[in-house]
């Protein structure tokens, strides 16, 4: 397939230079389709309606100078034709954004290099466009990657939260509780600050399930979860230990405070109207055991065991009861 002709706009106010250009195209059989404009105004109106591969523009024209055309209206590369010997102008036009310049001479020798200069300019333009396209694609890819990274970060945070929380109540799960308790225990030992732990267990929960159904049971667990979340301080950690058992970790909390707070939590839940749709579940009681470091255990590692033993006693002593651990008894 033949290469299409190069579309050239030649802007020149000098009729002799125009003739010389036409002659050069003919004699050198240059593969040009050209248009000639005699002024900048002419050139502008032609550019508005026609597309060119390249513009050759005289520097000094009747209605202005060639550099006025640069960077505006058109996006074809421009080669400026300067008067002979005016190297300063050549520098100026290159700085202004011309792709190249040709110094005119009265014998028209500059026209001999026209073909090669145009080829070079078009090649450079092609490379620049390819580079621009590659940069654009790179930018798009970077934006895409950024979006994907954000989505990954969101998913990974979602997964992290899922892995440490109980799906029914939204409280922390036992896995997280073990890690958190270990951390709090170390902190309490290091700072010699009091740390209290409470184990809570719903009384006769099996009856709730048996009487009202498993879904009503789930509802009670959910309500207790909400109740615990609302009742604790910011630094406390509420977890669903498993089934109908819950655990509270209370840093910087001495036994008197822990006891008072648990009493309130359990007492308020008993008063909580548990209405599941049309079903009135009625009061649900909780038994709890609470233990504090350093009052009840010499090592904070024994806290959970001590709270669990206290809970066991609360159960065996009739339920709906809060029992504080005995000093020295795990
Ligand atoms: P106690 O006063 O001695 O604690 O008696 P209880 O009935 O509460 O204790 P038990 O250990 O006999 O029964 C616990 C029940 O909790 C049995 C089990 O089906 C129920 N349960 C455990 N997990 C869930 C749950 O996620 N949803 C529901 N609805 N029930 C659960
Ligand atoms: Mg001129
Ligand atoms: Mg239980
Ligand atoms: Mg129970």
User: Across residues 139-146, what is the average pLDDT?
Assistant: 97
Residue 330 has pLDDT above 60, yes or no: no
pLDDT at 106: 82
DSSP 8-state code for residue 113: G
Nearest CA to ligand 1 atom 18: 206
DSSP 8-state assignment for residue 4: P
SS3 category, 275: strand
In what helix (H) or strand (E) does residue 100 lie, and over which residues does it extend? strand 100-103
Per-residue model confidence (pLDDT) at position 241? 97
Q: Where are the domains of the chain?
A: 6-131, 174-324
Query: Is the pLDDT assigned to residue 73 strictly greater than 80?
Result: no
128 has catalytic annotation? no
- Convert the pLDDT of each residue in 232-249 to its tens digit: 999 999 999 999 999 999
Query: Mean pLDDT, to the nearest integer, of 123-139?
Result: 96
Nearest-CA residue for ligand 1 atom 30 is: 217
User: To the nearest whole percent, how much of the chain has pLDDT over 90?
Assistant: 84
Q: Is the CB of 202 under 6 A from ligand 1?
A: yes
Q: Which residue is catalytic, options 12, 184, 223, 244?
A: 244
Find the mean pLDDT for residues 196-207. 98
Asked, as a colleague might, if the bond just before 59 is cis with ω within 30 of 0, I would say no
CATH of domain 6-131: 3.40.50.2300
Q: What is the pLDDT of residues 83-112, one digit of tens each?
A: 766 778 888 888 888 999 998 888 888 999
As a whole number of angstroms, the longest Cα–Cα distance in the chain is 120
Is the Cβ–Cβ distance between 114 and 10 less than 8 Å? Answer: no
pTM assigned to the model: 0.69
Only one residue has tokens 């209290």, namely 196
Give the C-alpha separation, 168 to 221, whole Å: 8
Q: What percent of the chain has pLDDT over 70?
A: 97
For residue 168, the SS3 value is coil
State the pLDDT at residue 261. Answer: 97
CA–CA distance from 223 to each of 80, 119, 237, 270, 275 (Å)?
82, 80, 17, 12, 10
CATH class of 174-324: alpha beta
Identify the residue whose C-alpha is closest to ligand 1 atom 19.
Answer: 206
Residue 214 has pLDDT above 80, yes or no: yes
322 pLDDT higher than 60: yes
Whether 85 is in the pocket of ligand 1, judged by its Cβ within 6 Å, is: no
Mean pLDDT estimate for the chain: 93
pLDDT at 2 over 80: no
Task: Determine the pLDDT at residue 72.
Answer: 63
Number of C-beta neighbours around residue 67 at 10 A: 18
Q: What is the C-alpha separation between 292 and 302, in angstroms, rounded?
A: 10
Give the DSSP H or E segment for 64.
Answer: strand 64-65
Residue bearing tokens 């059989």 = 29
d(CA 303, CA 187): 14
**Backbone angles phi and psi of 230, in degrees to 5:** -75, -25
Check whether 216 has a pLDDT greater than 60.
yes
3-state secondary structure string across 134-202: HHHHHHHHHHHHHHHHHHHHHHHHHHHHHHHECCCCCCECHHHHHHHHHHHHHHHHHHCCCEEEEEEEE
| Statement: residue 53 has pLDDT above 60 | yes
Half-sphere exposure of 318 (CA within 13 A, CB side): 1
Does the pLDDT value for residue 64 go beyond 60?
A: yes
**Ligand 1 atom closest to Cα of residue 216:** 29
């Amino acid at each position: 397939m033949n290469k299409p002709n190069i579309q050239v706009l030649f802007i020149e106010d000098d009729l002799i230079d125009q003739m010389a250009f036409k002659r050069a195209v003919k004699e050198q059989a240059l593969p040009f389709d050209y248009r000639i404009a005699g002024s900048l105004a002419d050139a502008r109106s032609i550019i508005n309606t026609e597309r060119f591969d390249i513009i050759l523009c005289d520097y000094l024209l009747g209605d202005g100078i060639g550099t006025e055309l640069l960077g505006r209206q058109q996006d074809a590369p421009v080669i400026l034709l300067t008067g002979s010997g005016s190297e300063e102008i050549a520098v100026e036009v290159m700085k202004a954004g011309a792709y190249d310049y040709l110094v005119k001479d009265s014998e028209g020798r500059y026209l001999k290099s026209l073909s090669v200069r145009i080829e070079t300019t078009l090649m450079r333009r092609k490379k620049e466009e390819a580079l621009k396209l590659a940069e654009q694609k790179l930018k798009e890819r970077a934006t895409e990657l950024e979006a994907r990274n954000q989505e990954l970060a969101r998913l990974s945070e979602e997964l992290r939260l899922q892995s440490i929380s109980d799906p029914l109540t939204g409280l922390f799960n036992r896995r997280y509780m073990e890690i958190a308790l270990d951390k709090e225990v170390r902190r309490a030992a290091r700072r010699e600050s009091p740390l209290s732990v409470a184990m809570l267990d719903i009384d006769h929960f099996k009856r709730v399930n048996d009487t009202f159904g498993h879904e009503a049971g789930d509802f009670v667990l959910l309500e207790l979860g909400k109740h615990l979340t609302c009742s604790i301080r910011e630094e406390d950690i509420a977890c669903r230990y498993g089934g109908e058992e819950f655990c509270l970790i209370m840093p910087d909390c001495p036994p008197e405070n822990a006891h008072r707070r648990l009493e309130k939590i359990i007492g308020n839940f008993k008063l909580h109207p548990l209405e599941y749709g049309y079903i009135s579940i009625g009061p649900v009681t909780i038994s709890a055991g609470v233990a504090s470091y350093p009052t009840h255990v010499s090592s904070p590692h024994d806290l959970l065991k001590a709270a669990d033993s206290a809970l066991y006693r609360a159960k065996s002593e009739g339920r709906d009861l809060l029992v504080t651990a005995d000093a020295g008894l795990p």
